[in-house]
Structure formats: structure tokens, C-alpha cells
Amino acid sequence: MNHTVHLADDLSLTRMGYGAIQLAGPMAWGPPKDRDAAVAVLHEVVALGLTHIDTSDYYGPHTVNELIREALHPYPAGLHIVTKVGARRGPDKSWPAAITRDALISAVHDNLGHLDLPSLDLVNLRMTDTTAAADIVEPFTVLAELQREGLIKHLGVSNVSTEQVLAARQIAPVRSVQNFYNLAMRKDDALVDYCAAEGIAFVPFFPLGGFRPLQSDTLQQVADGLGHTPLQVAQAWLLQRSPTMLLIPGTSSVAHLRENVAAADIELPAEAVATLNAVGAAEAAAPWARH
């Protein structure tokens, strides 16, 4: 399971990556509680052979990117740092949208500076509270211009509708889609399949969250039967769901990081997959399910 997906000639990412958001303080705000432990996690990411670190300059803000630079710069060959723009942090720790031209240009330069990079490998544009195709055109065009200037190598999108993915692809190649998706929250099933068919990475955020008690019981029962932890089984299910599914579970613990990476070597039997698939079907049928 833990092989590499080739998204472009110069962009190959291990299917199991690492999301750096938990290296900041609570609510992704401020410095880490234990800086030495955070640096140790980043060193272990490289030692385990992961080539995919997901971050953003609005984690902290700034502190996570600065920590990545401190721990790993000069960056090992083959390591790709994926960043995200389209939001900022308010003084109340909120996450307001920031997709104006000036805001996006500033965000790209902030990521470049704090990571100490001449260009960013992959930048995801985060959209907020909109599914309309027209809304992504202007901000994605700005990023495409920065790509042509050499400040960005590849582009992706986050928190988007299928219509927005299609609109973005009319402007520039889309290498990745980051959306809310996990074993229970399956409204993007069709988009997952579309990305697989088009060779686009689908990177779920909250890959381990959103389980309700009944669904957690189902996951626990399957995990107990296989001798793995529920979180490992949930990640293994995601990796088997699509050949272009990439995971970026976050943690501030080396032990937990190793546990996550081990999930990439789990191959779920067909009966376990069928049982877990039913979790998503139950969610969709429930009156409180999100649509």
C-alpha cells in the first residue's frame, strides 16, 4: 500500500504522507507544546521514507513552516512540501477566507519565505462556503499566474465541489483535491472516482474524524477481528478505496506516526471492506446525514 503515486514528472508522493497541522499549539495556534518532540516527528517522517508533508503558513500562523525549515532544511532530495493558501488566521483564532489577488500573492510569498524555498512544489487553493464553479475562477487564475512566474510548480484545490474542480482544470492542471472524506462521510464518492480516472490525487482531510458511536462500534469490531487499531483500519480502507488516495494524518508523536505509517501495509479482506462500506451507506441513509 505504501507506494508512490506519480502526479507529474517532478512530483511523486508517497501515498502515506504527514499532515503538519498538529505541530502547532491547540487549534493550530502558537508554537508546539514540546518543540523537541515536534522536531523529532519531522526527522522521523524523513527516516520512514515519506515524501509528502502537508502544511500551510496559516498553521500557527507561521510557526509550523518555520519549524519544518528548522528541522529539515536543506530538504532531502525527493521530499515534497505541499502548502495551502486561501485562508488566514484572525486574532480570535478564526479561519476567514483570503482569496483576493493580494491575499493569495502574499500567502505564496509567506510560504516561500518561511520554508526558505525558491518555489513551492504544490499549492492547494482552499475555498470556503461556496460550491459555485464561477467562484474559483479568479483566485485559481491568480495562482496559475504565479505558477507561470515560477513561484509554484503544481496546483491543487481544497474544500471544493466537482464543478469547481472542472472549472479549475480549464485554467491549469489540477494535481490534487483535498476534501472532507472518510469512512463515514462519503458524499464525495463520485469525485474520488473521477480523480482516480484522471490521475489526480484525492487527499481527504479529517480522514479519521466524524465517526458516530454506532459506526465507531463497527470499526472497532472489524479492527479487533483483524488485530489492528481502529484508526489503522480506517486508513487502510481509505488507501484501498482509490489508487490515487493519499493520506496526511497528523500527529505530534513519533509513536503515533509509526502506527499511522504501518496502516499502509494493511490489506483488508473483502468481507472487512464490505462491512466498512456499510458504515458509509448507513450515514447516507440517516436523517441527520450531511448532503
Q: So which residues are the catalytic ones?
A: 59
Tracing cell 479561519 back to the chain, one arrives at 95
